[in-house]
Structure 1
């Protein structure tokens, strides 16, 4: 068990969300489920909570209603080595009602925010040459889904 686990509050669609995320991330598994019992405000037998893992990261899904919707204050970053990987996660996570945002951000159909980020971005943005890093930042700010080739071109001043 990891020391800190993000808990995600879903509007009675936690099972659908877990299935959705598990279909996208190849290395996924559900390790525990609990259900509402008799006398609770939710019908007995309905999923209460589930622990699941995506790419080695543990999450707790709580199935409890509309009281606490997701906001952009919390997001998950998916680091990608290639444009093919960026495109894969982008298309999967925006499917079925997800929304593209800007600068590599999106919201999935459950309202959860994700950042689909090429790993090379940290190199570009932390480069000691402020002109190069500034060009990469300016290019990124104009993008919705990040384009590695265009970011490299901007970084290199071409």
Structure 2
């Protein structure tokens, strides 16, 4: 059984020359998935930069924005990121980073939470518009008598109840 992802102090990670590798096979807090998140990730402490790399996959249930039916969606993420580790000291100077340089800054006395990082990477892969597929039937068609009092689109039920 794969051990659960736990926060790791940056000072402890710094002592690991080869960094830390995590096999992943667990649910991730805050991510409602049908299957455990599976994959791998690693973190290497390079003094002033924490190098993170990982890939993961799971299946989630989404609601189609068009027809309101639920459907399963394969969610995958593959990411590589550099996080700056702040250097404490009075002679600290401002550094301007290039586009590929780290933009997030960690406190050297803090911990790195691999589960949180993984949650963020998977969340970034969620679709902006949920569509169940190319054969989506679209919004429900109105049914009923000619007066238009039929069921119709269930999203309008709250307004119909105000009559």
What's the TM-score once normalised by structure 1's chain length? 0.26
**Bigger Cα Rg:** 2
Higher helix fraction (1 or 2)? 1
Higher strand fraction (1 or 2)? 2
